[in-house]
Amino acid sequence: MTIALTAKIKSLLTSLGIEQGDTVFVHSGMGEIAAMLGEDTPVTIGQALEAFHTALLEAVGPDGTIAAPGFFYNYARKGKPFIVETSPPDRALGFYPMHLMRQEGCKRSLNPIASILAVGRHADEICAHTSAYAFGMTSPWARLAERGAKGLVIGLPFMMTFIHHVEALVGPPHIYNKLFRTPVIVQGKAIDLPVVGAVRYLKYDISYKDAKLEALLRADGAMVEVQTGGVSASLTGFQDLQRILMAELAKDRSFTLASPPKFTAGEIPDDGPRG
């Protein structure tokens, strides 16, 4: 069964345009994939995970790299230290990140709330422990873009954490750089690097909406979409997404949001002249 399941998923991945040597960042929903694969014989989540990961490895080949979110939200929400080797990716990220974390040779970057997991040829480079910034030019997200990474969304509505990296590069006023002081621990020792994340202001009820960006990516031809057995999947180049989103944010500071924040005059970020 495993060989047949893997072949089925690999066919979907290659039809999207994933090639040997690619770097692929994955947002995934295993439930839909298991349902698709189990059309004739029921498939467990565990079987779907194995088949999906094997298909990805075969699709990108020995020179390719697979990455996924390893975000540990309890670092920011509950002040829990981030232990790079063992702190589990948040459940909201689905089953695949934990599966990837268990793979031999899996690497993990340092920023807890934007941590990246990676295996493959360029995993060390992408997850290098040279910076603990969540986003921006010293972050793993910049290294993914430099490598020409492709964002795979499968079994989920369109979403892409890379959007927040682009926001950090442009600097719209609904986000700010927050300093975190809870320890980040590697091999039993706290790192001696600033832990910084670009986060949104909470008091302005800011929420994100990806529909406009999704439509632009589709119109530009930057996003390839496939639907098989009720499972939707899309593939978008990070460099294309960055190009398009930067241009839109230059014109509309709230392009990524459901509605413009109602900032309070005289308060940050709309605090006016400072004598």
The closest alpha carbon to 51, from 72, 28, 33, 24, belongs to: 33
Give residue-wise pLDDT tens across range 58-110.
Answer: 999 999 999 999 999 999 999 999 999 999 999 999 999 999 999 999 999 99
* 163 in any annotated domain: yes
Decide: helix, strand or coil at residue 270: strand
Q: Is residue 226 part of a domain?
A: yes
**Range with the lowest mean pLDDT among 32-36, 82-86, 215-219?**
32-36
Residue at 260 is within a domain: no
Q: Which of 87, 19, 10, 17 is nearest to 53 (CA)?
A: 10
Domain presence at residue 30: yes
Q: Is residue 197 part of a domain?
A: yes
With respect to residue 188, please indicate whether it lies within any of the assigned structural domains: no
Evaluate whether residue 268 is within a structural domain: no
Query: Does the reported pTM lie above 0.75?
Result: yes
Q: Where are the alpha helices (DSSP H) in 92-230?
A: 96-101, 123-126, 140-146, 162-170, 211-220
For the beta sheet containing 189-190, the strands, ordered from the edge strand earlier in sequence to the opposite edge, are 82-83, 184-186, 189-190
Residue (of 33, 67, 66, 26) closest to 48 by Cα position: 33
Total of domains in the chain: 1
Q: pLDDT value at position 75?
A: 96
Residue 40: partners with Cβ closer than 8 Å, 6 or more residues away = none
| Predicted confidence (pLDDT) per residue in 181-214, tens digit | 999 999 999 999 999 999 999 999 999 999 999 9
- Alpha carbons 45 and 54: distance in angstroms, whole number: 14
Residue 217 placed within a domain: yes
Q: In what order do the strands lie in the sheet with 65-69?
A: 107-108, 116-120, 65-69, 23-28, 150-154, 231-237, 223-228
Across 10-17, average pLDDT: 94
Q: Which domain holds residue 132?
A: 2-72+89-180+193-251
